[in-house]
């Protein structure tokens, strides 16, 4: 009997190669074997969801909101998201501009399904969050990376995007940025907006770190002239409210696009549990103070990192302006990011992500997640710098 074949769409999600996370998998294996690894790899808060949010979730479930919830999202949550977005960006937003999704990752997939037909080219900026090219392939589109440059602090240049844009349908950006910690400037975003308008591209803007800005201002490209009608914005409770496991995200966009995304959700995810949505409304009702409290450890560790890095010369930092990461330039060692990260793990039980895990533009760099307590974070970073100095 012949074996039934799986689709090339699903078997080719990683492009037929490694997913680039070999160091992470090795660190996890060491931890499982009992090794005391300091893990600075993934963007997971070292504090868990606030107990008051969990109480609200429990109360909503006990009150009976455990059946099918509205597929677009509950009216209360869509309105809460719309109020937050209007307040933060100045763009008038209503519940008709919002669909709730099972996390931002599902939102990214849905956004590419909505904007790209099979075989279309979808652009994204390198360095990139690790799932971006696979998400695009899974949607049936062809991923194409547009390199940003270390010498520009990884701010994408419009002139670098333009040659790729002629045959593309969508451009995916992420600010505040994972992995670099860069916040795109007004000039950068205006250049991107011009490219999208000149080449009739959809802009897919991943803004899950909008509550974690340490320098400058977060500008949503949806607020730029002529962009609201061609921009889909991803958001999530994961980073702003430490609700990573609750899987509650959203897409903002034009009403017509949201209507079609609701149809897609009806045929795929069928929405998000109601008690999780009720807890998300409660979380939003706590206001900006709770978001600032959740972001505070990363701001504090970012300042701590700059103090440590300022006392040495072997490692340079890409200016960490937002998000829970700092990108380090270790090219002075002559080592690749992958070789450095593997050696650091083997010799000092410190796990960081090689820049190459996020594309070739960040080769010779490391992404360090600021996701352990201050003392362990400082100790690990000092060891990393000494390790680099010995090889420079």
* Percent of the chain clearing pLDDT 70 (strictly above): 98
Lowest mean pLDDT among 1-15, 51-65, 217-231, 297-311: 1-15
DSSP 167-225: TEEEEEEESS-TTT-----HHHHHHHHHHHHHTTPEEEEE-TTTT-BSSS----GGGST
Question: The pTM is what?
Answer: 0.96
Cβ contacts of 57 within 8 Å, gap of 6 or more: 246, 275, 276, 278, 279
pLDDT in tens, 237-248: 999 999 999 999
Mean pLDDT, rounded, for 105-114: 98
Neighbours of 391 (CB within 10 A): 14
**pLDDT, tens digit, for every residue of 252-268?**
999 999 999 999 999 99
How far apart CA 61 and CA 53 sit, in angstroms, is: 12
Q: Indicate if the alpha-carbon torsion angle 62, 64, 68, 69 is positive or negative.
A: negative
- Residues 264 and 113: beta-carbon distance below 8 Å: yes
| 8-48+289-385 maps to CATH 3.40.30.10 | no
Architecture of the CATH domain 67-286: 3-Layer(aba) Sandwich (3.40)
DSSP E strands in 1-50: the ranges are: 38-40
DSSP string, 289-351: HHHHHHHHHHHHHHHHHHHHHTT-SS-EE----BSSEEEEE-GGGT--HHHHHHHHHHHH-EE
CB distance 47 to 297 below 8 Å: yes
Average pLDDT rounded to a whole number, residues 226-230? 98
pLDDT over 80 (residue 180): yes
Task: Give the per-residue pLDDT at 2.
Answer: 74
Place of tokens 């959809």: 202
Give the pLDDT confidence of 346-371 residue by residue, as tens digits. 999 999 999 999 999 999 999 999 99
One fold for 8-48+289-385 and 67-286: no
Is residue 1 scored above 70 in pLDDT? no
Interior angle at CA 15, CA 13 and CA 19, nearest 5: 80
Question: For the residues 128-142, what does the mean pLDDT come to?
Answer: 96
Give the C-alpha separation, 72 to 253, whole Å.
13
Q: Give me the residue spans of the domains in the chain.
A: 8-48+289-385, 67-286
Considering only CA atoms, which of 266, 247, 275, 272 is closest in space to residue 66?
275
Mean pLDDT of the chain: 96
Calpha distance 107→340 (Å, rounded): 34
Q: What is the pLDDT of residue 19?
A: 60
Q: What percent of the chain has pLDDT over 90?
A: 95
Instruction: Give pLDDT, residue 278.
Output: 98
The Cα–Cα gap between 276 and 298 comes to 25
């Amino acid at each position: 009997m012949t074996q039934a074949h799986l689709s090339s769409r699903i078997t080719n999600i990683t492009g037929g190669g490694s997913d680039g996370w070999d160091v992470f998998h090795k660190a996890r294996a060491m931890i499982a074997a009992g090794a005391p690894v300091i893990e600075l790899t993934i963007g997971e808060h070292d504090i868990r969801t606030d107990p008051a949010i969990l109480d609200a979730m429990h109360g909503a479930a006990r009150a009976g909101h455990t059946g099918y919830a509205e597929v677009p999202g509950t009216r209360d949550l869509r309105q809460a998201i719309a109020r937050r977005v209007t307040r933060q960006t100045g763009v008038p937003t209503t519940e008709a501009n919002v669909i709730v999704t099972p996390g931002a990752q599902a939102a990214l997939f849905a956004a590419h399904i909505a904007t790209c037909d099979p075989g279309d080219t979808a652009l994204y900026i390198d360095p990139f969050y690790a799932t971006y090219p696979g998400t695009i392939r899974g949607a049936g589109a062809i991923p194409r990376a547009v390199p940003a440059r270390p010498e520009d602090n990884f701010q994408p240049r419009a002139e670098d995007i333009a040659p790729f844009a002629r045959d593309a349908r969508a451009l995916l950006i992420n600010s505040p940025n994972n992995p670099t910690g860069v916040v795109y400037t007004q000039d950068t975003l205006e250049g991107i907006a011009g490219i999208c308008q000149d080449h009739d591209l959809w802009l897919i803007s991943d803004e899950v770190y909008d509550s974690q800005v340490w320098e400058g201002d977060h500008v949503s490209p949806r607020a730029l002239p002529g962009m609201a009608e061609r921009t889909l914005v991803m958001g999530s409770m994961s980073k702003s409210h430490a609700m990573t496991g609750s899987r509650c995200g959203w897409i903002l966009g034009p009403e017509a696009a949201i209507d079609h995304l609701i149809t897609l959700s009806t045929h795929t995810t069928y929405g998000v549990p109601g008690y999780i949505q009720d807890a998300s409304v409660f979380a939003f009702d706590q206001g900006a103070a709770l978001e600032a409290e959740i972001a505070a450890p990363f701001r504090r560790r970012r300042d701590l990192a700059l103090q440590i890095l300022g006392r040495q010369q072997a490692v340079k930092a890409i200016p960490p302006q937002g998000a829970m990461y700092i990108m380090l330039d270790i090219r002075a060692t002559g080592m690749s990011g992958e070789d450095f990260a593997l050696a650091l793990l083997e010799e000092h039980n410190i796990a960081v992500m090689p820049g190459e895990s996020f594309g070739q533009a960040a080769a010779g760099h490391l992404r360090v997640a600021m996701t352990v307590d201050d003392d362990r974070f400082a100790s690990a970073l000092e060891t990393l710098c000494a390790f680099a100095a010995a090889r420079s």
